[in-house]
A = this chain, B = another copy of it.
């Protein structure tokens, strides 16, 4: 059983009619529904910005194996203390899936150490996503390429560290490419960044997108290795 918390800032849905029409219960519910479709492996709850401590209390995070993050217009409103708490949980083994505009979230930038900026364009154009690592569990059941139209364009250079594994690369109609599925390891935690999901498009209802996110959650679940001991250390062997 993998305990997943889907976090959404849940702001666009309240102020933009178009977004509300696409995601009447919020983006988080569409993502949560997609995970639940992938079966009894997941125990899914949601959390949003306006809840106390953004719904990410220490207790809530301690009971989370994988956190899914969607944010866009309210990154600055996320409390630094909560960001530090999430960061600490990732280093101690909690998985993290960062979606789309979450590239600019405080938690992603803090974990990456870079600016995380990119090119973008809202032109309802076609995105074609190619699998470049067919050995990866996140590619399980995913065709060698699939299309999303309409989607927002994200283009290189994406200012992230070189990913530990590059799973997907996107092609865009307007002429750009993007490293769309990237994994990173930080401490005991595993992180998966997945590009699609502009708020005005029904991306999180797409069955392949849902499968990728479910695969990502399985992959990012804690491995259960020993917590490393650090600090002043006695010798294990005699020193001459």
Contact = CB atoms under 8 A, between A and B. Distances in A.
Interface string A165-199: 11001111111110100001111111000000000
Interface in A153-170: 153, 155-159, 161-162, 164-166, 169-170
Interface in A94-141: 110-115, 117-121, 123-126, 128, 130-137, 139-141
B231 A135 contact: no
A169 to B, nearest CB: 5
B130 A156 contact: yes
A contact patch SS: loop
Nearest to A138: B223
A140 B231 contact: no
A144 B114 CA distance: 18
B224 A140 contact: yes
Contacts of A119: 229-233
Q: How many copies of this kind of chain does the complex include? A: 4
Query: Which of A93, A124, A135, A156 gathers the greatest number of chain B CB atoms within 10 Å?
Result: A135
A115 B187 contact: yes
Query: Which of A123, A159, A229, A230 gathers the greatest number of chain B CB atoms within 10 Å?
Result: A230
A217 to B, nearest CB: 14
Query: Which of A113, A124, A173 gathers the greatest number of chain B CB atoms within 10 Å?
Result: A113
Contacts of A236: 128, 174-176
A237 interface: yes
A144 B226 contact: yes
Given A165-B164, A189-B135, A224-B140, A117 B230 contact: yes
Sort chain A's interface into a size bin. 35 or more
A41 B229 CA distance: 31
A76 interface: no
A119 B131 CA distance: 13
A82 interface: no
Contact of A173 (B134, B162, B239): B239
19 contacts: A110-B113, A111-B113, A121-B234, A126-B239, A132-B156, A134-B228, A135-B186, A135-B225, A136-B223, A139-B223, A140-B224, A141-B224, A156-B228, A161-B161, A161-B185, A169-B169, A173-B240, A175-B235, A175-B237
